């Protein structure tokens, strides 16, 4: 309705009423909304700055936690020879140790090889192949004895019209074995040979018996029993045999857990009788590097907070968190981390490990002081860093995650203020629309009066003109 009215404004008065109304409304909008928009911009910058601080502290805590979880600060297993690869298992070694290890034999899986056939699609016969697991004992000359009852479940494979090829047999064995036997095909140059490989461990040896269909023989060529050794014997199933600190031990795999507490051994090859040395100690250099990085990061974090808290000076505007109590509390808490004792770490402090805050407020790492820490303090450093990366509950300190969390209630309060500003802006727009409607009506009424006045003037002019014309 207001639009219909305003389209006719000025027709009677001879002025641009629409422009006048737009300018009046714009002036009111500037007066009413500019302070609100400025206030919202300030709130946005404060929320953004607090979010940056919270996210940065969360990232620092996450990085530190990841290094703690990786065991970088704990006891690190080591081996003096690449014949054995070592890694942490579970929580890793809980105490330093030294041990000797001789690897006399690697664990191996039994391997059988079939005579080559012309093509992958060559029929192999129909019937069934039965796999039985147990321990195979070599008797010499290719003969062997077999004790059933192995570490894997026996299984059978049916070969029928749909899979009566070398490739079909391979696929059927792999589908039925559950990983206990892996079948593959090798191009031997003079044909294609089926290779059967069992899993590691002496108790995972196996024999293969064949039950042929009378009308489609051939499966007996893939048998391996004491009475039918059609498959060629390529490798025996065997356990790994080691001498650990003078004690002979065996395992059915080359991945050995539990021999040394918290250490996993991966046997790569046998050793000579001299063997190798195993042990676990702490990586002092890695701890020093982490503490130096942490000091730099802590200093950079305090610098960022200081930049956000700066006051206006030399024509430069104040930072988004100038005079902000939350930013001040976060900075004070970060500085306090250096001297805060951690109960779980025997009261150890970052300052004891060489991290210090200078009189100027800078954070630095004193390598000389770190070099003087005791083995006990080195062992406690892992617990200290784990506590610092968390929320500090039960430790008597405010740790990184908790410091970052200080921004959350402050941000929630700022969000409430932003919603209040948005509501005020909406109310201002409602008032401005009402103001525009009021102006339209007022100017429309004025146009009617002016038009009426002009009509009366025109009539008077015409009357006077008629008088003059009569007098002439």
Provide the 3-class DSSP secondary structure of residue 254.
Answer: coil
User: Lowest mean pLDDT: which of 326-340, 342-356, 447-461?
Assistant: 447-461
442 in the same domain as 323: yes
385 in the same domain as 330: yes
409 in the same domain as 458: yes
319 in the same domain as 173: no
278 in the same domain as 179: no
Query: What order do you get walking across the sheet with 276-282 strand by strand?
Result: 75-79, 276-282, 97-105, 240-244, 247-251
Stretch 98-107: mean pLDDT = 97
375 in the same domain as 315: yes
408 in the same domain as 266: no
289 in the same domain as 276: no
How many domains does the structure of the chain reveal?
Answer: 3
User: Lowest mean pLDDT: which of 64-68, 167-171, 242-246, 467-471?
Assistant: 467-471
Phi, psi (deg, nearest 5) at residue 298: -60, -40
Query: Which two three-digit tokens encode residue 254?
Result: 């080359």
pLDDT tens profile 191-239: 999 999 999 999 999 999 999 999 999 999 999 999 999 999 999 999 9
pTM for the full predicted model? 0.63
462 in the same domain as 328: yes
* Domain boundary residue, one of 209, 235, 261: 235
288 in the same domain as 278: no
| Residue 111 near residue 197 (C-beta atoms within 8 A) | yes
319 in the same domain as 309: yes
Range of the domain at 202: 109-235
* Domain boundary residue, one of 220, 235, 250: 235
82 in the same domain as 181: no
* Domain boundary residue, one of 225, 252, 282: 282
């Amino acid at each position: 309705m207001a639009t219909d009215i305003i389209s006719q404004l000025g027709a009677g008065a001879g002025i641009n009423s629409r422009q006048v109304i737009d300018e009046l409304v714009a002036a009111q909008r500037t007066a009413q909304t500019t302070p609100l928009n400025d206030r919202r911009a300030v709130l946005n910058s404060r929320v953004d700055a607090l979010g940056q601080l919270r996210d940065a502290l969360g990232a620092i805590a996450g990085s530190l936690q990841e290094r703690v979880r990786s065991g970088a600060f704990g006891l690190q297993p080591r081996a003096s020879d690449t014949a054995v690869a070592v890694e942490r298992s579970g929580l890793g070694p809980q105490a330093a140790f030294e041990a000797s290890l001789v690897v006399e034999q690697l664990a191996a899986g039994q391997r059988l090889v079939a005579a080559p056939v012309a093509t992958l699609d060559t029929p192999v016969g129909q019937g069934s192949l039965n796999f039985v697991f147990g321990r195979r004992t070599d008797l010499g000359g290719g003969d062997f004895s077999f004790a059933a009852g192995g570490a894997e479940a026996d299984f059978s494979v049916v070969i029928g019209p749909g899979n009566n090829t070398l490739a079909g047999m391979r696929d059927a064995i792999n589908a039925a074995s559950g990983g206990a036997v892996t079948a593959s095909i090798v191009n031997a140059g003079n044909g294609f040979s089926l290779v059967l490989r069992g899993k590691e461990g002496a108790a995972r040896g196996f024999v293969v018996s064949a039950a042929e269909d009378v009308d489609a023989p051939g499966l007996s060529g893939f048998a391996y029993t004491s009475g039918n050794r059609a498959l060629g014997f390529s490798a025996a199933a065997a356990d790994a045999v080691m001498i650990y600190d003078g004690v002979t031990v065996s395992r059915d795999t080359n991945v050995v857990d539990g021999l040394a507490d918290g250490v996993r051994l991966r046997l790569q090859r046998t050793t000579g009788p001299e063997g190798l040395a195993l042990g676990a100690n702490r990586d002092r250099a890695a701890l020093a590097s982490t503490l130096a990085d942490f000091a730099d990061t802590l200093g950079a974090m305090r610098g960022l907070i200081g930049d956000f808290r700066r006051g206006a000076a030399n024509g430069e505007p104040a930072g988004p968190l100038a005079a902000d109590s939350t930013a001040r509390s976060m900075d004070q808490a970060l500085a306090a981390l250096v001297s805060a004792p951690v109960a779980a770490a025997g009261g150890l402090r970052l300052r004891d490990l060489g991290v210090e805050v200078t009189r100027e407020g800078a954070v630095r790492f004193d390598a000389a002081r770190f070099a003087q820490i005791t083995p006990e303090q080195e062992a406690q450093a892992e617990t200290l860093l784990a506590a610092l990366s968390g929320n500090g509950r039960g430790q008597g300190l405010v740790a990184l995650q908790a410091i970052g969390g200080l921004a959350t209630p402050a941000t929630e309060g700022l969000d409430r203020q932003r919603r209040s500003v948005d509501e005020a802006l909406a109310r201002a727009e409602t008032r401005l629309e009402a103001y525009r409607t009021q102006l339209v009506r007022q100017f429309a009424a004025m146009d009617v009066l002016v038009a009426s006045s002009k009509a009366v003037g025109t009539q008077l002019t015409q009357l006077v003109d008629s008088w003059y014309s009569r007098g002439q």
